[in-house]
Amino acid sequence: MNTMKNWRHLITGITTLAVVSLGSYALAEETVGPDKDCKGKHSFRQHMKGERPIEHMARFLELTDEQKQTLAAHRDAQRAQYREQRQQIRQTQRALHDAVANNADEAEVTALAEKLGDLSAQQAIARAKEKQFLLSILTPEQKEKMEQMKAKRKGHWREKAADTRA
């Protein structure tokens, strides 16, 4: 019974890691502009006002039309693969959840957990390749702006974490 509890914790951790990593991938710059600082007073969706994160990033980095078209073409080419990965992960998560709920044997739970781990790894590799592709089309100035954006976002989340602990 204790083994099953450990598996549940492992599965919950893997699932949480997958969700958090997907959510962090979608985040973009936290400020509205140089004249307006929201100080995190509203949600990310309210901040974006219907704008997709990629559009927000393109505007912030001042991407050229050619860069935008290149990114869009790459994204369109990868879209089916990303959907398939997400669908496989959801199916495996459901199967794992059902197996745990139905007190499946340890071998079945292990196999499903390993499959979920492999799928999560494939998704992480796809995100890394996507980032490499983005960096390959950016100018040095745009790369610097992106680093500044990341540093500012990291500082914002560290402040929030410090406020939570206090």
Per-residue model confidence as pLDDT tens digits over 148-159? 888 887 877 777
Q: Give the Cα separation of 23 and 127 in Å (integer).
A: 12
Contact 119, 35 (CB under 8 A): no
Query: CA separation (Å) from 4 to 1, 84, 110, 121, 130?
Result: 5, 30, 10, 24, 37
Q: Give the Cα separation of 115 and 34 in Å (integer).
A: 46
What's the confidence (pLDDT) of residue 6? 74
Please identify which residue in the block is written with the tokens 């890394």. Answer: 128
Per-residue model confidence as pLDDT tens digits over 59-90? 888 888 898 899 889 988 989 999 999 999 99
Is 101 in a helix, a strand, or coil? Answer: helix
What's the confidence (pLDDT) of residue 48? 53
Contact 113, 15 (CB under 8 A): no
Q: Give the Cα separation of 132 and 71 in Å (integer).
A: 12
CA nearest to 123, candidates 10, 23, 5: 23
- Residue 33's beta-bridge partner residues? 36
